[in-house]
Structure 1
């Protein structure tokens, strides 16, 4: 049985079928008040920001939030933070622990368990109730909806937090699709553009673009899957270094752009803007190209609120979004998350607010209600039982 730890401090790690991003800050003056107060404090400025907040509030602060918030609060200490299925499921071999997913070798298959771990600053900050289920079920929804574009590696989804996939040879390249000039990291399109770069990952960029502006057409900015960081790379370098053949790169890049275009159209139909995302692909034993990992989740994608984007852009405001930035900012204001060995506990109201936002995005993206799991059976026991049953059927 997985050890039970405090999910608000150092995430623990425990765990039925198919499977959501935050507020742009300027000033940060946080006090131990409500999540609503804190989230508003993270918006830039004063009156302009309050006006900007209205449409987002109208979307995320309604009856559905009140309906689910009690269940979220009641699940704070029953998150899936660690798993040890190799000890509880016969036939499972080695475990690879990623930032969010635990991956188990099941012989002919891989068992992917999506946990509730919330990472930032290259470490785990907290566990967010139901996050793993949201990510898993969001991906499964998109995998199903995009079969007309590309095959994928999904074999079965025996549990709310679990997907069983085919083993394949993974291309060591992540395909980052972008539709807007935005971002704040060193490798973000806006950062490199602001620093004078006009050809990025093989894409020619015109002069005169401003932050958060829509590109004339969607582009790909591939990166290599390095151990400690992602390195931007051009298509020519990918082929020259032997990371992919020209034929494979051409086919995968075509599918990635088709996936992104389709995702943007679906998101727009549901009131969202799919700003950017990343895709990973592999090759099956039969040589077929397969979409793997996750698709258009809040962790792999940036979503903005569609109805207020144009007004925000014209007024020089950051677009409204629903992500984890407010939690990141709280930690940056209360510690040095890059250097401090021990981090403070995340406030419960912020953890609950982020959990709700993941659910909100799932429901908005899929246009369906999020189904809370029955609470009687411990999560790790439930996952162990469901995975064991599925693997026995696949033999």
Structure 2
């Protein structure tokens, strides 16, 4: 098993800044940025100790495919990709909220509902729903964007009250979110999948709203297999899904939910390999394409070389 990319720490000519997020390393330039999708993996807003081989490539290439497929819905930040793990694009000013949209009662929303809550981010939910039921209509449940620690649920009303986003712009973000979810749902259906829930991030460049970061990847989205969904719901079976939820479930089963005092369970080679295999499975199922593993002994050196060549070629 090859070793995944845990971190990068490059120094490029004309670089103006660097930021290391939960799973991405970002290199800033004048009006552009280079986003490196590492193989780090996070769950419950905690970075797990071992990287997952090929995860970064999977995320980067799925995101690029779906950004291309939605650029008629909303303009996006990507301009180039000089490496399977790298995207180059516009340096947008991010909004301080993530737009989460849910078509089904799953994951965090289900856990809240199971505890008796019938309002999520200011949105009322009907009584009598079961886990993974389809919602009457997709709901938007925004979260704050935490640089460290947990993102927090927040309502539309609270976002506007606090002035986090101006009302006219927030209305536009909601429209884009619903349109992107509709497009993502259509694409997923063609692959025999249900897009259950996902999140979108937006930013501004030259006073225009752009879609930023990744979309419709296993880190940002949850998918069910369409075939058998109805019968599984009717019989109370668990849904067959493609998402990062299986990582969360493994952690929960091993006594970790990101709470204070809990220790991250040991990730054996077998666990790491199984997670890598699941990411590749999701890539192939979601895109309908065969995943081409980028081989080589030193992925970090390859990434650095390809970014340097790109910067030199484009005089950045």
The TM-score normalised by the length of structure 1 is 0.74
Which segment drifts farther, 132-141 or 99-108?
A: 99-108
8 Å CA contact 2:43–2:247 kept in 1: the answer is no
Q: Cα distance, 1:201 vs. partner?
A: 2.4
Partners in 2 of 1:135 and 1:264 — Cα distance? 18
8 Å CA contact 2:40–2:47 kept in 1: the answer is no
Q: Cα distance, 1:279 vs. partner?
A: 0.5
Give the greater-gyration-radius structure (CA): 1
Secondary structure at the counterpart of residue 319 of structure 1: coil
Tell me which residue corresponds to 2:139: 219
Partners in 2 of 1:202 and 1:358 — Cα distance? 33
Inter-CA distance 129–91: structure 2 relative to 1 (3 Å threshold): same
Q: 1:60-83 CA deviation, whole Å, 9 max, x = no partner?
A: xxxxxxxxxxxxx3x2x3x21110
Tell me which residue corresponds to 1:389: 309
Q: 1:139 aligns with which of 41, 52, 63?
A: 63
Q: Cα distance, 1:324 vs. partner?
A: 4.3
8 Å CA contact 1:171–1:280 kept in 2: the answer is yes
Inter-CA distance 237–128: structure 2 relative to 1 (3 Å threshold): same
Tell me which residue corresponds to 1:159: 83
Tell me which residue corresponds to 2:279: 358
1:16-27 to 2 correspondence within 5 Å? Answer: none
Inter-CA distance 264–314: structure 2 relative to 1 (3 Å threshold): same
Q: Cα distance, 1:195 vs. partner?
A: 3.7
Structure 2 residue ranges without an equivalent (≥5): none
Inter-CA distance 333–200: structure 2 relative to 1 (3 Å threshold): closer
Q: 1:380 aligns with which of 300, 303, 306?
A: 300
* Structure 2 residue 200 is the aligned partner of structure 1 residue 279: yes
Structure 1 residue ranges without an equivalent (≥5): 1-72
Q: Cα distance, 1:344 vs. partner?
A: 5.9
Partners in 2 of 1:345 and 1:231 — Cα distance? 27
8 Å CA contact 1:327–1:350 kept in 2: the answer is no
Q: 2:212 aligns with which of 279, 292, 296?
A: 292
8 Å CA contact 1:180–1:213 kept in 2: the answer is yes
Q: Aligned residues, how many?
A: 312
8 Å CA contact 1:97–1:103 kept in 2: the answer is yes
Tell me which residue corresponds to 2:6: 81
Partners in 2 of 1:247 and 1:128 — Cα distance? 41
Q: Cα distance, 1:343 vs. partner?
A: 5.4
Tell me which residue corresponds to 2:184: 263
Tell me which residue corresponds to 2:242: 322
8 Å CA contact 2:48–2:264 kept in 1: the answer is no
8 Å CA contact 2:218–2:244 kept in 1: the answer is no
Partners in 2 of 1:368 and 1:233 — Cα distance? 37
Secondary structure at the counterpart of residue 365 of structure 1: helix
Secondary structure at the counterpart of residue 178 of structure 2: helix
Partners in 2 of 1:295 and 1:218 — Cα distance? 17
- Kindly indicate whether structure 1 or structure 2 has the higher relative contact order, using CA contacts under 8 Å at least 6 residues apart: 1
Inter-CA distance 349–303: structure 2 relative to 1 (3 Å threshold): same
